[in-house]
Structure 1
Amino acid sequence: MANAETYQTEEAARAAAHYGARADIVADRLDLQGLWLMFRRRLRVFFYTAIIIFDIMALLAVWLPPRYTATAVVILNGVTTPVTPSSTREKSEVPESNSDVETEIAILTSRDIAAKVVDYLHLENDPDMRALIAPGGITASIARSIGLARPVTVGPLSAEDRARLRAVLISRLASSLTVERVSSAYAFSVGYTDTNPIRATAIANAFAHVYTEEQIRQKQTRNQQAVKLLGERIEALKVQAQADFDALQRYRIDNNLLSTTGATLTEQEISAYNQQVASARAEAAADSASLSTARSQLRGGSAGDDVGAALSSPVIQSLRVKRAELSARVAQYAGIMGPKNPDFLDALRELADVDAQIQSEINRTISNLDARAHVSRQRLDSLSGSLGGARGTLEQNNRAMVALDDLQRKADTSQALYESYLNRYKEALAASGAERAESRLVSDARIPGVPSFPKKSYFLALGLLLGVGAGFVAAIATEMAFSGLTSGEDVKRRLGVPYLGGMPDFATITPAVTDPLETVRTSPRSPLAQAVRGILTKLRQTYETGQVVMISSALPAEGKTTLTACLAQSAVGADSRVIVIDCDSTRRQFSTSFAQTGSDKPGLKEVLAGEVTIAAALQEHKGGFHILPITTPFGDDEAQIDPAKMQALLVQLREHFGLILLDTAPILPVAEGRELAALADAVMLAGRWRHTSEKALATALDLLPPAARAVTSVILSRINMKQQSQFTREDAGAFYHSYKDYYHA
């Protein structure tokens, strides 16, 4: 007992790390080799799935009613010729951006256009279209469309049915219409799909026609609305412009702001006055200077004959000529006549008269200079006064100009607004009746001769691709859903416990085995005997001091009893003595299979109760090992195997047997095996190859006591040796085909 406890302590420290690494470990089976192996073992799933999918697609290609697609092409980048006087050159109506094309496509695919197509073609009178609202619902409609039901004839429709039919037709047309842009051009194709090729062509052309006509109608509507709105607005603007102009003119008159040349009359008057004042001032200055000079000469002793005005007077000039003549005559008479000569005296008198006339004329000239200077000064004063009055008036006008400018701007704005509306009104009137569509139909839809759906080659190719893809998915899904264990690497990776080996399925080895225990005993070189011996060898290598070995399973029917018997048979001779204790108080499978039972035969039950000795209850098998069976079942009111009594029993047996095998009940359904695991030096859990789930074995491991869990290992039973190579390359059984003939050499 002490040896067992020491062994379990050492083994617990060594194996705890293996089990602790088990949690949440998931094997990655989808490497290249693993994928190929998976494909081999799931070949049936792959082919069945692929064939089913391919058959479905082939059936659909033949069964589905043909649908035809008719396509028309509409272009947007037309060039229009000017049709109104305001159009001075050709106007290109190429869309400005790709979004414009997308906008036109959205308009074409709208329900409004679809509704107009329904009205344009009177589709509500088409029997096939009327059948869309026939009784039976969606199921009947689908059945009729795929030919499983006969077409129905719909009689006269009520107003409610007509409205419902119209809504259905609009939805049908909108859903069956496909509009796609043609490459990067400003054009798009208008396609419609229907079971009737002629109807598909008519509807596709109708969509293109209604779309272009709708553009013209929209333009006409916009022009009519513009003409009406502009006409109403122009009258109001005309009245406003006239009122503003009248207010401007009244203000001009009231404030004496009249103008003929762009400047006001006051400004023109001031300009004239400025010129006249300048001229009068110069004239007055000249007259005053002339008068002042003449008076200065007279004050200087001059007789006035050297005054400038006198010198230039023609009268004085003529008198001076006459005086010169008279002076010459007097001089002549004085030489030839005496002073008393009458002719001489007459000449002197005439000379004196001429001198008096000259002086009188000089006096008049001086007086005239004085009068002219006075008149000039009066004229200058009058003009200066008028100029000052005009300037005062201008100041008042300038103050009034502020309000005038505001009235002028208001009148100009009203006039400009009126003229702009008037010009737009004239353009709208000129454009009315000359509207043209911004798109044109490039290619009419032709009646399609080949259905666009279903395309048999496409369906078959798609069915093949989908079948292969679905086959792979089904194979991978089946493999991923599989939770069984295939190889020793699976056991170590996914459970984190040692793997001792595997028991082959007796029917898959050559030669086939009918009695496994007899085969192990009589054919020690057979594949089965070698597999059992390998398990026993691995057990001894893993648990060197293991004397008491418990053999169990997570679930029933895992092959643990046969495994126990084969291990016992194989261990005979290698160990001094071998004993198998049937610890399955529920089923007693080992006892009923390999020992003698009955009420007259004592067994484990009687030994634990102290009724018989161990020697009296032991039975020796013909293979050379001993059995401590359960010969009579435990009653419902009887306790199961007592661990304390069982421990005492094992202490005695350790002294007489080199290997003690405990065949216990499955771990999950019966707690008895979990209690007995604490008494064993090593625990072996049998799991059926690719049958027992990883979760079942993991749960069984979790239920074992910690010390027993540390010395637990797993073997796989009923391995199909013919298929093992298809499932793994990580196990000796995977190479069975390479060495199976070795046993017969």
Structure 2
Amino acid sequence: MLQNNIKDTDRLRLPVNLTPPGQTDGGGITEIINLGIGLLRRQYLVILVTAALVIAISLLYLRLASPTYTAQVQILLANPRAQFVQQQSLLAEPPFDLNQIETQIQLVRSKATAAAVIDQLKLTNDPDLNASGPSLHSLWQRIRSWARAGSTQDAPSGRHVEPSDAIVDVFLSRLSASRVGYSNVIEISFNSSSAARAAEIVNAIANTYVTDQLNAKFDANRRATSWLQDRLRDLGDQALAAQRAVDVYKSQNNIVSLDGRLIDEHQITEINNRLALARAQTSEATAKLSRYETLLASFDPKKPSSMLDLDAIGSDGLNSAIITALRQQYLELTRREAELTARVGRDHLAVVNVRNRAREFRVSIFDEVRRLAEVSRSEFELAKQRQEEIEKQLAKAVAQSRSVNSAELTIKDLESRAKGLRSLYETFLQRYMSSAQQETFPISETRVLFPASPPSSKSKPKTRLVLALGIVGGLALGIGLALLRDLMDRVFRTSSQVESVLELPCLSMVPFLPSRKSQKPAVRLQKTEDDVQQRIVSPPTAIHRTVVGMPLSRYTEAIRSIKLAIDHNPEKISSQVIGITSALPNEGKTTIAASLAQLIGHAGKSAIIVDCDLRNPSLSSIFAPKAACGILEVANGSRSLADAIWRDPTTNLAFLPAVRRGPLLHTSEILCADAISKLFDRLRAQYDYIIVDLPPLTPLVDVRATSSLIDCYILVVEWGRTKIDVVQHALHTAPNIQDSLIGVVLSKTDTKAMARYDGHRSYYYHDSHYIRYGLSGS
């Protein structure tokens, strides 16, 4: 098959323009469409199989998954009370904000609510909660319950039974509660395999929550009423005692009326004020002295753990500069003692010294506190003396007044106290009566807007959604796998790949020829001694005989394109010696070399094919398996060239074999020796074309040593098998060979699959174009 029938010979070496015919600069969309079509052509089976598997899994899921029904009910929060109820309420009613609503949602989803509903509806043996259904969720819950049961086998018998906790967890996993928009409405949902059961449970949850809120209000009001009752009883007793004290005092002093001259109110008030101040000072001094005495009594200087509580003596100890300084030094020594104890131990000498110094500071603090106590004692004695003097003055002033005036003051004080207690008693009595009446008015801040009814359709699984996701997901996964396979397919499949990656023209795409038995052999099947003496090549296989036996085949036409490229090579003045090589073994280079040589010989030109694969002379094993001498013997002069050449009587093709008699260690040195160079000079003089079968580039370095012998090289690459990176590496390691390459030949090409990989030229590979000119498909 001729791939590049190019009249302009300059394009054989320059990078080829890869833009498909008819595509302009704005054809990016067309390129993407062509790539997509090509991907579908190549990987349609992967896409279809993957999509079918995903859809089958979706159908299997729909078949096995048990249906789930979701019932919903809405609860209104902050239901306003009647105005008269709000006025009589003992408890504050804060407005419902976001935090309050979230709190109510958590109460709905609490374990207490779940346990109450489970007990109310007897859901302990419900199959949904016991994870006995076929759904995946039920299976997971069953595994979790098994794991919990296994982890708590050794738990004490007095603890809560784990299966009940597992049932509550399953119940809560099916329960959901959320706020409806920005409103004060909570929507409660519950999932069950039965529609009626779902509605029954969600209504029970709502009723349980509302009842719980009402009970909480009752309990709070009951506690407040109980406290009011106790406080009211105490206030009544105090008010009664105060009134009795007034009556008793009047009876004792025989007071009937308060007429008469009053004492000097200004004097009595002044003395009373002074006396109150003096008593306050005495009381303060007494309390301070008592604190000092208590503090000193509780402190033992000999005990290291005993320390003065300086906060207990008030501001005197905190404002004392001496105590503050001693305390800071003591705390510093305590810190050092702790650090040294952690590092060297409690009984270390340094720790003992620090501890002794801390004890000294503690004793100093004690002495200073004791001094302050003595000062406080002096202040107490002075305050007490001053109080006694003022009391004497007051007694003297009171003694000078009438007894009636003194009794009037006492009676006023007693009556004022009795009146205040009576007023407070009446206030508490009014609140108590309001609270008692409110308990008889049952109303909650929450209410159910509308009870849930059994849902008419299942909520999970949604058939249309699952199927849609299965179809879309299957196609997406199939396309992804197809794209991944396409990206991982780093081999040569089109001439455009060769020309863009290697920057070399693709001379030909040689079709793959399957091995087949020959029907009409070109030479005798049995090789006689006569044939060996006349050096006639062995009968070639069907593949090597294709160019002669099938001259109108696509294979032969592809070989002709190689011959045409050799004849129109612009880089070399002479293309007489052509080296055929490949990057890896078994890529078809020997077959291409033999077919090219037979084509040239069959066309009437004098041609010889030379086997220079000295380490693995596969061509010699095909054409001359019994050759006694070859290129090595001719080069070293032990045999003549005429004695070593074998001929094909059908094509008049000459063949110079390579006889391998043992391991050759320095084949690269042999190929670049002067003897081989002189041999090729003789071949140039006798033949029009010299086809050289060379070893591959990657395993050996022999090809690099033939640059002085070969006019041009042809690189054979196996279609769909040889990695791009391998060919690039092979050419990179042999730059002298790359400079002499006239092009690349893709061998073993699957022409039927080419239309899927080369979308721009898909019609090029149709057999109808070749049949029109009498060419066969093989």
TM-score, structure 1 length as denominator?
A: 0.60
* Counterpart in the other structure of 1:582: 611
Q: Distance in 2 between matches of 1:45 and 1:456?
A: 26
Name the SS of the counterpart of 1:42 in structure 2.
helix
2:695 is matched with which residue: 665, 681, 699? 665
User: Could you tell me whether the CA contact under 8 Å between 2:114 and 2:171 is conserved in 1?
Assistant: yes
Residue 638 (structure 2) aligns with: 611
- What is the deviation of 1:522? 5.1
Whether 2:453 is the aligned partner of 1:452: answer: no
Instruction: Indicate if the aligned counterparts of 2:218 and 2:439 stay in contact, CA closer than 8 A.
Output: yes
Q: One-letter code of the match for 2:481? A: A
Deviation at 1:441, TM superposition (A): 1.9
8 Å CA contact 1:74–1:189 kept in 2: the answer is: yes
Aligned to 2:548: 521
Pairing 1:164–2:169 present: no
- In the other structure, the counterpart of 2:654 is 626
Matching of residues 519-668 of structure 1 within 5 Å: 519-521=546-548, 523-542=550-569, 544-545=571-572, 546-572=575-601, 577-593=606-622, 595-598=623-626, 600-621=627-648, 622-630=650-658, 632-636=659-663, 639-640=666-667, 642-645=670-673, 646-668=676-698
Q: Structure 1 residues 118, 435: CA separation in 2 closer, same or farther (over 3 Å shift)?
A: same
Q: What is the deviation of 1:33?
A: 0.6
SS of 1:723 mapped into structure 2: helix
Residues 1:528 and 1:100: Cα distance change in structure 2 (over 3 Å): farther
| Partner residue, 2:726 | 696
Counterpart amino acid of residue 749 in structure 2: I
CA RMSD of aligned residues (A): 4.9
Q: Match of 1:708?
A: 737
Q: Displacement, 1:583?
A: 2.4
The answer as to 2:752 corresponding to 1:722 is yes
Q: How does 1:6-405 map to 2 (within 5 A)?
A: 31-76=32-77, 78-82=79-83, 84=85, 86=87, 104-109=104-109, 113-126=113-126, 129-130=129-130, 141=139, 159=157, 163-182=161-180, 186-219=184-217, 254-255=269-270
Q: Which moved more, 1:670-679 or 1:491-500?
A: 670-679
Give the aligned residue type for 1:39. Answer: L
Taking the aligned partners of 1:229 and 1:684, their CA distance within structure 2 comes to 109
> Conserved in 1, the CA contact under 8 Å of 2:131 and 2:141?
no
**Code of the aligned partner of 2:85:** T
Contact 1:580 1:663 in 2 (8 A): yes
Offset, 1:32 = 1.0
Amino acid at match of 1:644: C
Give yes or no for contact 1:495–1:694 (8 Å, CA) kept in 2: no
* Matched length: 532
**Equivalent-residue separation in structure 2 for 1:236 and 1:681 (angstroms):** 127
In the other structure, the counterpart of 2:502 is 495
Shift of 1:215: 3.5
Q: Write the distance in 2 (CA, Å) between the matches of 1:484 and 1:596.
A: 34
CA distance in 2, matches of 1:525, 1:495: 31
Deviation at residue 67 of structure 1 after TM alignment: 2.7
Matched letter for residue 46 of structure 1: I
CA, structure 1 residues 190+644, in 2 after alignment: closer, same or farther (shift >3 Å)?
same
Alpha-carbon spacing, 1:141–1:462, altered in 2? closer, same or farther (3 Å): closer
- The answer (yes or no) to whether the contact 2:174–2:192 under 8 Å persists in 1 is yes
Instruction: Supply the distance in 1 between the matched residues of 2:654 and 2:501 (Cα, whole angstroms).
Output: 36
Q: 1:502 to 1:111 in 2, by over 3 A?
A: farther
- Superposed CA deviations along residues 203-246 of structure 1, whole A, max 9, x for unmatched, are 323332333334445545666677789999999999xxxxxxxx
**Deviation digits for residues 132-168 of structure 1, max 9, x if unmatched?**
7x9xxx99946989xxxxxxxxxxx994895322332
Would you say the 8 A contact 1:77–1:94 is kept in 2? yes
| Partners of 1:554 and 1:668 within 8 A in 2 | yes
Percent of aligned pairs sharing the same letter: 24
AA aligned to 1:742 is R
Deviations 1:405-427 (A, max 9, x none): xxxxxxxxxx9xx99x9899878
**CA deviations over 1:660-680 (Å, ceiling 9, x no partner):** 322223333344345446753
Identify the range of structure 1 (27-36 vs 161-170) with the bigger mean alpha-carbon deviation.
Answer: 27-36
- Letter of the structure 1 residue corresponding to residue 716 of structure 2: A
SS at match of 2:610: strand
State how far apart, in whole Å, the 2-side matches of 1:454 and 1:617 are: 83
Question: Residue in 2 aligned with 1:363?
Answer: none
Aligned with 2:660: secondary structure?
A: coil
1:570 & 1:629 partners in 2: Cα distance? 19
1:473 equivalent in structure 2: 480
Cα distance between partner residues in 2 of 1:124 and 1:225: 35
Contact 1:34 1:728 survives alignment (8 Å)? no
Q: CA deviation at 1:41?
A: 1.7
Secondary structure, counterpart of 2:57 in structure 1: helix
Whether the 8 Å contact between 1:722 and 1:737 is mirrored in structure 2 is no
- The alignment partner of 1:84 has SS state of helix
Code of the residue aligned with 1:547 in structure 2: it is Q
The letter for the 1-side match of 2:53 is I
C-alpha displacement of 1:195: 3.1
In structure 2, the residue matched to 1:333 is none
1:192: Cα distance to partner? 1.8
Q: State whether residues 75 and 441 of structure 1, in contact with CA within 8 Å, keep that contact through their aligned partners in structure 2.
A: yes
Alpha-carbon distance change, 498 to 254 in structure 1, aligned in 2, over 3 angstroms:
farther
Instruction: Report the structure number with the largest CA radius of gyration.
Output: 1
Residue equivalent to 2:374: none
**Superposed CA offset, 1:375-411 (max 9, x none):** xxxxxxxxxxxxxxxxxxxxxxxxxxxxxxxxxxxxx
Q: Secondary structure at the match of 1:172?
A: helix
Give the TM-score normalised by structure 2. Answer: 0.58
Alignment CA distance shift 1:130-1:46 (3 Å): closer
Contact conserved, 1:687 with 1:714, CA < 8 A, in 2? yes
In 1, Cα distance between equivalents of 2:687 and 2:227: 119
| Aligned-partner Cα distance in 2 for 1:234–1:685 | 114
SS for the counterpart of 1:189 is strand
Q: Contact 2:755–2:765 (CA<8 Å) still a contact in 1? A: yes
Asked if the contact 2:507–2:745 (Cα under 8 Å) also holds between the matched residues in 1, the reply is yes
State the 1:80 CA deviation: 3.4
Distance 1:143 1:236 in 2: 59
> Which SS does the other structure have where 2:586 is aligned?
coil
CA distance, structure 1, for counterparts of residue 494 and residue 507 of structure 2: 11
One-letter amino acid matched to 1:702: H
Distance 1:223 1:609 in 2: 123
CA spacing shift, 1:178–1:647, aligned 2, 3 Å? farther
Q: How much has 1:39 moved relative to structure 2? A: 0.2
Which amino acid counterpart does residue 565 of structure 1 have in structure 2? A
1:251-305 CA deviation, whole Å, 9 max, x = no partner? 99734999xxxxxxxxxxxxxxxxxxxxxxxxxxxxxxxxxxxxxxxxxxxxxxx
Please say if 1:464 is aligned against 2:471: yes
Q: For residue 492 of structure 2, what is the amino acid of its counterpart?
A: L
Deviates more, 1:196-205 or 1:716-725: 196-205
